[in-house]
Protein backbone atom coordinates (compact mmCIF):
# COMPACT_ATOMS: atom_id res chain seq x y z
CA UNK A 1 0.00 0.00 0.00
CA UNK A 2 1.27 3.48 -0.91
CA UNK A 3 1.22 6.58 1.25
CA UNK A 4 -1.86 7.50 3.26
CA UNK A 5 -3.34 10.88 4.18
CA UNK A 6 -5.53 11.75 7.17
CA UNK A 7 -8.28 14.33 6.63
CA UNK A 8 -9.82 15.86 9.76
CA UNK A 9 -13.02 17.96 9.63
CA UNK A 10 -13.85 20.03 12.73
CA UNK A 11 -17.58 20.41 12.12
CA UNK A 12 -20.46 22.08 13.89
CA UNK A 13 -21.89 18.90 15.42
CA UNK A 14 -18.89 16.56 15.35
CA UNK A 15 -15.26 16.10 14.35
CA UNK A 16 -14.59 13.43 11.74
CA UNK A 17 -11.25 11.91 10.83
CA UNK A 18 -10.90 9.78 7.70
CA UNK A 19 -7.78 7.90 6.57
CA UNK A 20 -7.50 7.92 2.76
CA UNK A 21 -5.28 6.19 0.25
CA UNK A 22 -3.78 8.43 -2.43
CA UNK A 23 -6.48 7.31 -4.87
CA UNK A 24 -9.29 8.36 -2.50
CA UNK A 25 -10.10 5.00 -0.94
CA UNK A 26 -11.15 5.01 2.73
CA UNK A 27 -9.04 2.87 5.09
CA UNK A 28 -10.59 3.90 8.42
CA UNK A 29 -12.66 6.66 9.97
CA UNK A 30 -14.13 7.85 13.25
CA UNK A 31 -16.38 10.71 14.39
CA UNK A 32 -16.88 12.27 17.82
CA UNK A 33 -19.97 14.36 18.53
CA UNK A 34 -20.32 17.30 20.90
CA UNK A 35 -23.27 19.41 22.06
CA UNK A 36 -24.43 22.83 20.97
CA UNK A 37 -25.01 25.06 24.01
CA UNK A 38 -27.87 27.58 24.03
CA UNK A 39 -27.76 29.25 27.47
CA UNK A 40 -29.74 32.34 26.39
CA UNK A 41 -32.02 33.14 23.42
CA UNK A 42 -30.01 33.50 20.23
CA UNK A 43 -26.90 31.85 21.64
CA UNK A 44 -25.27 28.91 19.87
CA UNK A 45 -21.97 28.06 21.55
CA UNK A 46 -19.62 25.15 22.07
CA UNK A 47 -16.92 24.25 24.57
CA UNK A 48 -13.45 24.63 22.95
CA UNK A 49 -11.96 22.01 25.27
CA UNK A 50 -14.61 19.46 24.24
CA UNK A 51 -13.82 20.10 20.59
CA UNK A 52 -10.07 19.83 21.15
CA UNK A 53 -10.59 16.51 22.95
CA UNK A 54 -12.84 15.36 20.09
CA UNK A 55 -10.10 16.14 17.54
CA UNK A 56 -7.55 14.10 19.49
CA UNK A 57 -9.96 11.19 19.93
CA UNK A 58 -11.03 11.17 16.27
CA UNK A 59 -7.39 11.08 15.13
CA UNK A 60 -6.32 8.49 17.69
CA UNK A 61 -9.17 6.07 16.98
CA UNK A 62 -8.88 6.43 13.20
CA UNK A 63 -5.12 5.77 13.29
CA UNK A 64 -5.68 2.75 15.55
CA UNK A 65 -8.33 1.34 13.24
CA UNK A 66 -6.15 1.93 10.19
CA UNK A 67 -3.28 0.13 11.94
CA UNK A 68 -5.35 -3.08 11.85
CA UNK A 69 -5.19 -2.95 8.04
CA UNK A 70 -1.78 -1.25 7.77
CA UNK A 71 0.55 -2.36 10.59
CA UNK A 72 3.22 0.24 9.70
CA UNK A 73 0.67 3.06 9.64
CA UNK A 74 2.93 5.65 11.30
CA UNK A 75 5.54 5.27 8.55
CA UNK A 76 2.98 5.22 5.74
CA UNK A 77 1.09 8.31 6.90
CA UNK A 78 2.18 11.26 4.77
CA UNK A 79 0.44 13.86 6.94
CA UNK A 80 -2.67 15.23 8.64
CA UNK A 81 -4.71 17.97 6.96
CA UNK A 82 -7.59 19.99 8.38
CA UNK A 83 -11.02 21.21 7.41
CA UNK A 84 -13.15 23.28 9.80
CA UNK A 85 -16.46 25.04 10.09
CA UNK A 86 -16.42 28.77 9.38
CA UNK A 87 -17.39 31.92 11.32
CA UNK A 88 -16.54 30.83 14.89
CA UNK A 89 -15.14 33.32 17.43
CA UNK A 90 -13.32 32.61 20.70
CA UNK A 91 -11.84 35.33 22.90
CA UNK A 92 -8.60 34.13 24.54
CA UNK A 93 -6.16 35.63 27.04
CA UNK A 94 -2.41 36.04 26.56
CA UNK A 95 -1.82 32.40 27.51
CA UNK A 96 -4.38 31.14 24.99
CA UNK A 97 -6.97 30.28 27.64
CA UNK A 98 -10.52 30.83 26.38
CA UNK A 99 -12.44 33.71 27.92
CA UNK A 100 -15.59 32.67 26.04
CA UNK A 101 -17.00 29.55 24.53
CA UNK A 102 -16.72 29.12 20.78
CA UNK A 103 -19.46 31.35 19.34
CA UNK A 104 -20.63 29.43 16.26
CA UNK A 105 -22.07 30.58 12.93
CA UNK A 106 -25.57 29.78 14.23
CA UNK A 107 -25.36 32.34 17.04
CA UNK A 108 -27.75 35.21 16.21
CA UNK A 109 -27.10 37.61 19.08
CA UNK A 110 -25.31 40.02 16.73
CA UNK A 111 -28.43 40.50 14.58
CA UNK A 112 -28.96 44.16 15.52
CA UNK A 113 -25.29 45.01 15.06
CA UNK A 114 -25.26 43.25 11.69
CA UNK A 115 -28.15 45.49 10.64
CA UNK A 116 -26.31 48.59 11.86
CA UNK A 117 -23.15 47.40 10.15
CA UNK A 118 -25.05 47.22 6.87
CA UNK A 119 -27.03 50.45 7.27
CA UNK A 120 -24.72 52.78 9.21
CA UNK A 121 -21.12 51.57 9.19
CA UNK A 122 -20.36 50.97 5.51
CA UNK A 123 -20.81 47.21 5.70
CA UNK A 124 -21.37 46.78 1.97
CA UNK A 125 -18.00 48.33 1.12
CA UNK A 126 -16.34 46.03 3.65
CA UNK A 127 -18.14 43.07 2.04
CA UNK A 128 -16.86 44.05 -1.42
CA UNK A 129 -13.30 43.89 -0.08
CA UNK A 130 -13.66 40.83 2.16
CA UNK A 131 -16.25 38.58 0.49
CA UNK A 132 -18.25 37.76 3.65
CA UNK A 133 -21.88 38.92 3.43
CA UNK A 134 -23.21 41.12 6.21
CA UNK A 135 -25.05 38.78 8.58
CA UNK A 136 -25.03 37.81 12.30
CA UNK A 137 -23.00 34.70 11.38
CA UNK A 138 -20.02 36.86 10.39
CA UNK A 139 -17.19 37.21 12.94
CA UNK A 140 -17.08 40.90 11.99
CA UNK A 141 -20.66 41.32 13.24
CA UNK A 142 -19.96 39.16 16.31
CA UNK A 143 -16.93 41.25 17.25
CA UNK A 144 -18.90 44.47 16.77
CA UNK A 145 -21.52 43.04 19.13
CA UNK A 146 -18.88 42.02 21.70
CA UNK A 147 -17.19 45.42 21.49
CA UNK A 148 -20.39 47.27 22.31
CA UNK A 149 -22.34 44.78 24.44
CA UNK A 150 -19.45 43.27 26.44
CA UNK A 151 -16.78 46.01 26.36
CA UNK A 152 -14.83 44.73 29.40
CA UNK A 153 -14.44 41.30 27.82
CA UNK A 154 -13.52 42.86 24.47
CA UNK A 155 -10.74 44.90 26.12
CA UNK A 156 -9.45 41.98 28.22
CA UNK A 157 -9.11 39.59 25.27
CA UNK A 158 -5.56 39.31 24.02
CA UNK A 159 -6.76 37.73 20.78
CA UNK A 160 -9.87 36.64 18.89
CA UNK A 161 -9.58 33.30 17.07
CA UNK A 162 -11.62 30.57 15.40
CA UNK A 163 -11.93 26.96 16.54
CA UNK A 164 -9.30 25.56 14.16
CA UNK A 165 -6.80 28.23 15.26
CA UNK A 166 -7.42 27.22 18.86
CA UNK A 167 -6.87 23.51 18.12
CA UNK A 168 -3.65 24.17 16.21
CA UNK A 169 -2.38 26.48 18.97
CA UNK A 170 -2.93 23.70 21.51
CA UNK A 171 -0.93 21.33 19.30
CA UNK A 172 1.87 23.63 18.10
CA UNK A 173 1.84 26.76 20.24
CA UNK A 174 1.41 29.07 17.21
CA UNK A 175 -1.48 31.34 16.25
CA UNK A 176 -2.02 30.87 12.50
CA UNK A 177 -5.16 31.09 10.39
CA UNK A 178 -5.42 29.85 6.83
CA UNK A 179 -6.54 32.24 4.09
CA UNK A 180 -9.72 30.21 3.66
CA UNK A 181 -10.98 30.49 7.24
CA UNK A 182 -9.78 34.12 7.35
CA UNK A 183 -11.73 34.91 4.17
CA UNK A 184 -14.94 33.91 5.97
CA UNK A 185 -14.48 36.38 8.84
CA UNK A 186 -15.40 39.65 7.11
CA UNK A 187 -12.01 40.95 8.27
CA UNK A 188 -9.74 39.67 5.48
CA UNK A 189 -8.94 41.60 2.31
CA UNK A 190 -9.22 39.18 -0.61
CA UNK A 191 -6.80 41.09 -2.84
CA UNK A 192 -4.12 41.89 -0.28
CA UNK A 193 -4.45 38.45 1.41
CA UNK A 194 -4.14 40.20 4.75
CA UNK A 195 -6.38 41.68 7.43
CA UNK A 196 -8.50 44.54 6.08
CA UNK A 197 -7.53 47.91 7.53
CA UNK A 198 -11.06 49.33 7.27
CA UNK A 199 -12.63 46.41 9.13
CA UNK A 200 -9.98 46.56 11.85
CA UNK A 201 -10.45 50.32 12.24
CA UNK A 202 -14.21 49.84 12.66
CA UNK A 203 -13.54 47.46 15.55
CA UNK A 204 -10.59 49.33 17.00
CA UNK A 205 -8.49 46.17 16.68
CA UNK A 206 -4.87 45.75 15.77
CA UNK A 207 -3.75 42.85 13.61
CA UNK A 208 -1.73 41.62 16.60
CA UNK A 209 -5.02 40.60 18.24
CA UNK A 210 -5.74 38.19 15.38
CA UNK A 211 -3.84 35.16 14.10
CA UNK A 212 -1.16 35.33 11.40
CA UNK A 213 -2.66 34.55 7.96
CA UNK A 214 -1.00 31.68 6.07
CA UNK A 215 -1.70 29.78 2.85
CA UNK A 216 -4.02 26.78 3.04
CA UNK A 217 -1.03 24.59 2.13
CA UNK A 218 1.03 25.87 5.08
CA UNK A 219 2.76 23.02 6.95
CA UNK A 220 3.13 22.93 10.73
CA UNK A 221 5.77 20.69 12.30
CA UNK A 222 7.18 20.21 15.77
CA UNK A 223 4.27 18.26 17.28
CA UNK A 224 5.20 17.41 20.86
CA UNK A 225 6.49 13.87 21.18
CA UNK A 226 4.04 12.93 23.94
CA UNK A 227 1.04 14.12 21.91
CA UNK A 228 2.32 12.34 18.79
CA UNK A 229 2.79 9.15 20.77
CA UNK A 230 -0.72 9.34 22.24
CA UNK A 231 -2.17 9.73 18.75
CA UNK A 232 -0.14 6.88 17.25
CA UNK A 233 1.85 9.28 15.02
CA UNK A 234 5.53 9.91 14.39
CA UNK A 235 6.70 13.15 16.10
CA UNK A 236 7.74 14.54 12.72
CA UNK A 237 4.35 13.94 11.06
CA UNK A 238 3.50 17.10 9.09
CA UNK A 239 0.20 18.86 9.81
CA UNK A 240 -1.29 20.94 6.99
CA UNK A 241 -3.39 23.88 8.20
CA UNK A 242 -5.96 23.25 5.42
CA UNK A 243 -9.09 25.29 4.63
CA UNK A 244 -12.73 25.79 5.55
CA UNK A 245 -15.27 23.00 5.20
CA UNK A 246 -17.27 24.67 2.43
CA UNK A 247 -14.48 25.08 -0.09
CA UNK A 248 -13.07 21.67 0.77
CA UNK A 249 -16.46 20.08 0.19
CA UNK A 250 -16.30 21.42 -3.38
CA UNK A 251 -12.84 19.94 -3.76
CA UNK A 252 -13.91 16.63 -2.24
CA UNK A 253 -16.82 16.41 -4.67
CA UNK A 254 -14.55 17.08 -7.63
CA UNK A 255 -16.51 20.24 -8.46
CA UNK A 256 -13.56 22.49 -9.27
CA UNK A 257 -13.91 22.90 -13.05
CA UNK A 258 -15.73 25.84 -14.73
CA UNK A 259 -19.48 25.32 -14.94
CA UNK A 260 -19.62 22.70 -12.18
CA UNK A 261 -21.74 23.55 -9.15
CA UNK A 262 -21.73 21.77 -5.80
CA UNK A 263 -24.99 21.64 -3.86
CA UNK A 264 -25.03 20.29 -0.32
CA UNK A 265 -28.07 19.66 1.84
CA UNK A 266 -27.33 18.48 5.33
CA UNK A 267 -28.89 20.15 8.35
CA UNK A 268 -28.43 23.39 6.45
CA UNK A 269 -27.33 23.71 2.83
CA UNK A 270 -25.10 25.53 0.36
CA UNK A 271 -24.47 26.08 -3.32
CA UNK A 272 -20.91 26.78 -4.48
CA UNK A 273 -18.73 26.94 -7.59
CA UNK A 274 -15.01 27.54 -8.18
CA UNK A 275 -13.44 30.50 -10.01
CA UNK A 276 -9.81 31.48 -10.53
CA UNK A 277 -9.79 34.98 -9.01
CA UNK A 278 -11.72 36.50 -6.10
CA UNK A 279 -15.02 38.11 -7.05
CA UNK A 280 -17.78 39.71 -4.98
CA UNK A 281 -21.36 40.56 -5.90
CA UNK A 282 -22.37 44.25 -6.28
CA UNK A 283 -25.68 43.31 -4.63
CA UNK A 284 -24.02 41.48 -1.73
CA UNK A 285 -25.81 38.16 -2.36
CA UNK A 286 -22.87 35.73 -2.47
CA UNK A 287 -19.75 34.89 -0.50
CA UNK A 288 -16.23 34.55 -1.88
CA UNK A 289 -13.82 32.32 0.07
CA UNK A 290 -10.27 31.19 -0.67
CA UNK A 291 -9.21 27.62 -1.45
CA UNK A 292 -5.80 28.30 -2.99
CA UNK A 293 -4.26 31.30 -4.75
CA UNK A 294 -5.81 30.02 -8.02
CA UNK A 295 -9.03 28.56 -6.63
CA UNK A 296 -11.75 30.74 -5.09
CA UNK A 297 -15.20 29.50 -4.14
CA UNK A 298 -18.28 31.67 -4.57
CA UNK A 299 -21.86 30.81 -3.69
CA UNK A 300 -24.27 31.03 -0.83
CA UNK A 301 -25.31 29.10 2.30
CA UNK A 302 -28.88 28.51 3.46
CA UNK A 303 -30.05 27.90 7.02
CA UNK A 304 -32.98 25.74 5.98
CA UNK A 305 -32.00 22.35 4.62
CA UNK A 306 -32.65 18.92 6.08
CA UNK A 307 -33.62 20.47 9.39
CA UNK A 308 -36.91 21.50 7.73
CA UNK A 309 -37.62 17.89 6.72
CA UNK A 310 -37.03 16.92 10.35
CA UNK A 311 -39.57 19.56 11.38
CA UNK A 312 -42.10 17.98 8.98
CA UNK A 313 -41.37 14.54 10.45
CA UNK A 314 -41.86 15.72 14.02
CA UNK A 315 -44.69 18.25 13.64
CA UNK A 316 -46.76 17.23 10.60
CA UNK A 317 -46.24 13.48 10.37
CA UNK A 318 -45.93 12.21 13.94
CA UNK A 319 -48.33 9.30 13.39
CA UNK A 320 -46.57 8.16 10.20
CA UNK A 321 -43.24 8.44 11.97
CA UNK A 322 -44.38 6.30 14.89
CA UNK A 323 -45.76 3.66 12.53
CA UNK A 324 -42.52 3.61 10.57
CA UNK A 325 -40.48 3.17 13.74
CA UNK A 326 -42.65 0.24 14.88
CA UNK A 327 -42.13 -1.43 11.51
CA UNK A 328 -38.39 -0.74 11.52
CA UNK A 329 -38.64 1.54 8.47
CA UNK A 330 -36.82 4.85 8.02
CA UNK A 331 -39.46 7.56 8.66
CA UNK A 332 -37.91 9.80 6.01
CA UNK A 333 -38.31 7.06 3.40
CA UNK A 334 -42.00 6.82 4.35
CA UNK A 335 -42.45 10.58 4.01
CA UNK A 336 -40.81 10.70 0.58
CA UNK A 337 -43.09 7.88 -0.58
CA UNK A 338 -46.08 9.91 0.62
CA UNK A 339 -44.74 12.95 -1.24
CA UNK A 340 -44.41 10.91 -4.45
CA UNK A 341 -48.21 10.63 -4.61
CA UNK A 342 -48.36 14.32 -5.53
CA UNK A 343 -47.33 15.74 -8.93
CA UNK A 344 -44.54 18.26 -9.33
CA UNK A 345 -45.70 21.69 -8.18
CA UNK A 346 -48.08 20.28 -5.54
CA UNK A 347 -51.07 21.48 -7.56
CA UNK A 348 -50.28 25.09 -6.74
CA UNK A 349 -48.98 24.87 -3.17
CA UNK A 350 -45.70 26.66 -2.39
CA UNK A 351 -43.70 26.47 0.85
CA UNK A 352 -41.14 29.08 1.91
CA UNK A 353 -38.77 27.19 4.25
CA UNK A 354 -37.53 30.14 6.32
CA UNK A 355 -38.14 28.59 9.74
CA UNK A 356 -34.63 29.65 10.85
CA UNK A 357 -34.45 33.01 9.06
CA UNK A 358 -32.25 32.87 5.99
CA UNK A 359 -28.82 33.64 4.67
CA UNK A 360 -28.19 33.59 0.90
CA UNK A 361 -29.31 35.24 -1.24
CA UNK A 362 -31.60 37.43 0.92
CA UNK A 363 -29.43 37.62 4.07
CA UNK A 364 -32.44 38.37 6.24
CA UNK A 365 -32.63 36.86 9.74
CA UNK A 366 -36.24 38.07 10.05
CA UNK A 367 -37.63 35.77 7.34
CA UNK A 368 -40.17 33.17 8.52
CA UNK A 369 -41.71 30.09 6.93
CA UNK A 370 -45.13 29.91 5.29
CA UNK A 371 -47.39 27.96 2.93
CA UNK A 372 -48.75 29.97 0.00
CA UNK A 373 -51.68 28.92 -2.17
CA UNK A 374 -53.18 26.48 0.35
CA UNK A 375 -56.66 25.40 -0.83
CA UNK A 376 -59.30 22.82 0.01
CA UNK A 377 -57.94 20.33 -2.53
CA UNK A 378 -54.57 20.17 -0.71
CA UNK A 379 -53.87 17.37 1.76
CA UNK A 380 -51.02 16.30 4.01
CA UNK A 381 -49.11 14.73 1.12
CA UNK A 382 -49.16 18.08 -0.69
CA UNK A 383 -47.82 19.81 2.40
CA UNK A 384 -44.98 17.30 2.72
CA UNK A 385 -43.94 17.52 -0.92
CA UNK A 386 -44.20 21.33 -0.89
CA UNK A 387 -41.62 21.42 1.91
CA UNK A 388 -39.18 19.33 -0.13
CA UNK A 389 -39.73 21.52 -3.18
CA UNK A 390 -39.36 24.67 -1.07
CA UNK A 391 -35.92 23.62 0.16
CA UNK A 392 -34.79 23.03 -3.45
CA UNK A 393 -36.37 26.30 -4.69
CA UNK A 394 -34.54 28.12 -1.91
CA UNK A 395 -31.19 26.69 -2.96
CA UNK A 396 -31.96 27.43 -6.60
CA UNK A 397 -32.50 31.09 -5.67
CA UNK A 398 -28.73 31.41 -5.23
CA UNK A 399 -27.99 30.31 -8.82
CA UNK A 400 -29.00 33.56 -10.61
CA UNK A 401 -26.67 35.53 -8.34
CA UNK A 402 -23.79 33.14 -9.05
CA UNK A 403 -24.41 33.07 -12.80
CA UNK A 404 -24.56 36.86 -12.92
CA UNK A 405 -20.91 36.77 -11.84
CA UNK A 406 -19.52 33.79 -13.75
CA UNK A 407 -21.91 33.01 -16.61
CA UNK A 408 -23.89 29.81 -17.29
CA UNK A 409 -23.41 26.62 -15.29
CA UNK A 410 -24.06 23.16 -16.61
CA UNK A 411 -23.80 20.41 -14.01
CA UNK A 412 -24.78 19.90 -10.36
CA UNK A 413 -22.66 17.75 -8.05
CA UNK A 414 -24.92 16.97 -5.08
CA UNK A 415 -24.18 15.58 -1.66
CA UNK A 416 -25.55 15.48 1.87
CA UNK A 417 -28.21 13.40 3.58
CA UNK A 418 -30.85 14.37 1.01
CA UNK A 419 -28.84 12.61 -1.71
CA UNK A 420 -30.12 9.28 -0.39
CA UNK A 421 -33.60 10.19 -1.69
CA UNK A 422 -34.30 9.49 -5.36
CA UNK A 423 -37.26 11.91 -5.21
CA UNK A 424 -35.19 14.81 -3.88
CA UNK A 425 -32.39 14.18 -6.40
CA UNK A 426 -34.83 14.21 -9.30
CA UNK A 427 -36.55 17.28 -7.87
CA UNK A 428 -33.20 19.09 -7.89
CA UNK A 429 -32.57 18.15 -11.52
CA UNK A 430 -36.02 19.44 -12.47
CA UNK A 431 -35.89 22.71 -10.50
CA UNK A 432 -32.34 23.53 -11.63
CA UNK A 433 -32.98 22.14 -15.15
CA UNK A 434 -29.52 20.57 -15.12
CA UNK A 435 -27.95 17.14 -14.83
CA UNK A 436 -27.46 16.12 -11.20
CA UNK A 437 -24.67 13.74 -10.22
CA UNK A 438 -24.12 12.28 -6.76
CA UNK A 439 -20.44 11.48 -6.19
CA UNK A 440 -19.42 8.30 -4.44
CA UNK A 441 -17.46 10.02 -1.66
CA UNK A 442 -19.71 11.05 1.21
CA UNK A 443 -17.01 12.61 3.41
CA UNK A 444 -16.29 15.37 0.93
CA UNK A 445 -14.71 17.89 3.35
CA UNK A 446 -12.35 15.25 4.77
CA UNK A 447 -11.40 14.10 1.27
CA UNK A 448 -10.89 17.71 0.20
CA UNK A 449 -8.60 18.26 3.19
CA UNK A 450 -6.63 15.13 2.33
CA UNK A 451 -6.21 16.16 -1.32
CA UNK A 452 -5.09 19.66 -0.31
CA UNK A 453 -2.61 18.07 2.10
CA UNK A 454 -1.19 15.85 -0.65
CA UNK A 455 -0.72 18.97 -2.79
CA UNK A 456 1.04 20.79 0.05
CA UNK A 457 3.43 17.87 0.51
CA UNK A 458 4.20 17.61 -3.20
CA UNK A 459 2.59 14.16 -3.48
CA UNK A 460 0.26 15.25 -6.32
CA UNK A 461 0.90 17.76 -9.15
CA UNK A 462 -2.43 19.63 -8.89
CA UNK A 463 -5.90 19.51 -7.36
CA UNK A 464 -7.27 18.17 -10.66
CA UNK A 465 -6.35 14.61 -9.63
CA UNK A 466 -9.40 14.64 -7.37
CA UNK A 467 -11.54 13.84 -10.42
CA UNK A 468 -10.00 10.35 -10.40
CA UNK A 469 -10.91 9.86 -6.74
CA UNK A 470 -14.61 10.71 -6.98
CA UNK A 471 -16.90 8.08 -8.45
CA UNK A 472 -20.56 8.52 -9.41
CA UNK A 473 -23.41 6.59 -7.86
CA UNK A 474 -26.50 8.40 -9.23
CA UNK A 475 -27.22 10.57 -12.26
CA UNK A 476 -30.49 12.34 -12.99
CA UNK A 477 -31.61 14.24 -16.09
CA UNK A 478 -34.34 16.92 -15.94
CA UNK A 479 -37.87 15.75 -16.82
CA UNK A 480 -39.20 18.35 -19.32
CA UNK A 481 -42.77 18.37 -17.97
CA UNK A 482 -41.59 18.96 -14.42
CA UNK A 483 -39.18 21.66 -15.57
CA UNK A 484 -42.10 23.51 -17.16
CA UNK A 485 -44.17 23.32 -13.97
CA UNK A 486 -41.37 24.57 -11.75
CA UNK A 487 -40.50 27.40 -14.15
CA UNK A 488 -44.08 28.70 -13.73
CA UNK A 489 -43.95 28.55 -9.92
CA UNK A 490 -40.44 29.90 -9.48
CA UNK A 491 -41.27 33.62 -10.07
CA UNK A 492 -43.98 33.41 -7.40
CA UNK A 493 -41.64 31.74 -4.91
CA UNK A 494 -38.94 34.36 -5.55
CA UNK A 495 -41.17 37.44 -5.42
CA UNK A 496 -42.98 36.91 -2.12
CA UNK A 497 -40.08 37.27 0.37
CA UNK A 498 -39.08 40.60 -1.16
CA UNK A 499 -42.66 41.91 -1.20
CA UNK A 500 -43.26 40.92 2.42
CA UNK A 501 -39.99 42.18 3.93
CA UNK A 502 -41.73 44.63 6.28
CA UNK A 503 -44.30 42.04 7.34
CA UNK A 504 -41.53 39.53 8.11
CA UNK A 505 -39.85 42.13 10.31
CA UNK A 506 -43.08 42.84 12.17
CA UNK A 507 -43.99 39.20 12.80
CA UNK A 508 -40.44 38.48 13.98
CA UNK A 509 -40.61 41.42 16.37
CA UNK A 510 -43.92 40.08 17.67
CA UNK A 511 -42.38 36.62 18.20
CA UNK A 512 -39.52 38.14 20.16
CA UNK A 513 -41.76 40.40 22.25
CA UNK A 514 -45.50 39.56 22.11
CA UNK A 515 -46.23 42.18 24.78
CA UNK A 516 -45.31 45.09 22.51
CA UNK A 517 -48.40 46.89 21.10
CA UNK A 518 -49.81 44.78 18.26
CA UNK A 519 -46.30 43.46 17.65
CA UNK A 520 -45.67 46.34 15.26
CA UNK A 521 -42.27 47.72 14.42
CA UNK A 522 -41.27 51.13 15.69
CA UNK A 523 -41.32 54.07 13.25
CA UNK A 524 -37.52 53.85 13.09
CA UNK A 525 -37.68 50.16 12.17
CA UNK A 526 -40.43 50.78 9.62
CA UNK A 527 -38.26 53.37 7.91
CA UNK A 528 -35.08 51.24 8.04
Q: List, for residues 138-151, the tens digit of each pLDDT value.
A: 999 999 999 999 99
pLDDT for the residue numbered 527: 39
For residues 302-321, average pLDDT: 92
The burial of 527, by beta-carbon neighbours within 10 Å (0-12 exposed, 13-18 middle, 19 or more buried), is given as exposed
Distance CA 113, CA 121 (A): 10
**Strand intervals (E) in 245-337:** 260-265, 269-275, 287-292, 295-302
With H, G, I as helix, E, B as strand and everything else as coil, classify residue 384: helix
pLDDT for the residue numbered 473: 80
DSSP 447-493: HHHHHHHHHHTTSSS-GGGGGGT--EEEEE---HHHHHHHHHHHHHH
Report whether pLDDT(471) > 80: no
Sorted by sequence, the CB contacts under 8 Å of residue 424 that are 6+ apart come out as 265, 336, 388, 392, 418
**Domain ranges (residues) in the chain:** 306-352+363-396+482-526
State the average pLDDT for the chain: 93
For residues 85-93, average pLDDT: 97
Report strand pairing: 472-476 vs 435-439: antiparallel
Sorted by sequence, the CB contacts under 8 Å of residue 173 that are 6+ apart come out as none
pLDDT for the residue numbered 4: 96
pLDDT for the residue numbered 360: 95
pLDDT for the residue numbered 380: 96
Distance CA 360, CA 23 (A): 35
pLDDT for the residue numbered 104: 96
pLDDT for the residue numbered 522: 41
Distance CA 435, CA 329 (A): 30
- Using CA atoms, how far residue 223 sits from 16, 19, 30, 217, 428, in Å, is 20, 19, 22, 17, 45
Handedness of CA 126, 132, 136, 141 (dihedral sign): negative
Distance CA 173, CA 169 (A): 4
351's enclosing H/E stretch is strand 350-352
For residues 473-498, average pLDDT: 96
pLDDT digits (tens, 9 = 90+) for 20-54: 999 899 999 999 999 999 999 889 999 999 999 99
pLDDT digits (tens, 9 = 90+) for 176-213: 999 999 999 999 999 999 999 999 999 999 999 999 99
With H, G, I as helix, E, B as strand and everything else as coil, classify residue 432: helix
Task: Please give the backbone phi and psi of residue 238, each rounded to the nearest 5 degrees, phi first.
Answer: -75, 140
Quick one: what percent of the chain has pLDDT higher than 90?
Answer: 84
Distance CA 49, CA 183 (A): 25
pLDDT for the residue numbered 518: 55
With H, G, I as helix, E, B as strand and everything else as coil, classify residue 322: helix
pLDDT digits (tens, 9 = 90+) for 122-132: 999 999 999 99
Sorted by sequence, the CB contacts under 8 Å of residue 132 that are 6+ apart come out as 138, 140, 183, 184, 185, 186, 287
Report strand pairing: 77-84 vs 45-46: unpaired
Handedness of CA 385, 388, 391, 395 (dihedral sign): negative
With H, G, I as helix, E, B as strand and everything else as coil, classify residue 62: helix
The burial of 361, by beta-carbon neighbours within 10 Å (0-12 exposed, 13-18 middle, 19 or more buried), is given as buried
For residues 101-122, average pLDDT: 95
Report whether pLDDT(17) > 50: yes
* DSSP-H helix ranges across 92-158: 111-119, 123-130, 139-149, 151-156
Residue among 223, 251, 81, 93 nearest 159 (CA): 93
* 390, 489 Cβ separation under 8 angstroms: no
For residues 395-403, average pLDDT: 96
Report whether pLDDT(442) > 80: no
Peptide bond between residue 361 and the one before it cis (omega within 30 degrees of 0): yes
pLDDT for the residue numbered 523: 35
**Strand intervals (E) in 2-99:** 4-10, 14-21, 26-33, 45-46, 77-84, 90-92
Amino acid sequence: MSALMLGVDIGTTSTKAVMFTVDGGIVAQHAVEYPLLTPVPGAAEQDPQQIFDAVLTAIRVTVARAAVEVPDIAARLAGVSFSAAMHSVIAVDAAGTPLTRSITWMDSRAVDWARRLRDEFGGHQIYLRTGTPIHPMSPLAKLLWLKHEQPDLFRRAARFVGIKEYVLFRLFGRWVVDHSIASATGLFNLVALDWDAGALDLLGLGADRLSTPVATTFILDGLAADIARSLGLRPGTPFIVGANDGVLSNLGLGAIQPGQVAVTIGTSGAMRTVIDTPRTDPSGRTFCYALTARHWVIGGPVNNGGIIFRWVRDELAASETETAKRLGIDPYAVLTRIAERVPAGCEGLIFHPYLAGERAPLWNADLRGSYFGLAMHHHKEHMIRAVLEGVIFNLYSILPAVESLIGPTRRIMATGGFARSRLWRQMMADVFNREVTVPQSIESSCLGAAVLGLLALGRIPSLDVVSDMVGSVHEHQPIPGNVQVYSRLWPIFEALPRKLEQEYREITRFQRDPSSPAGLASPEEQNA
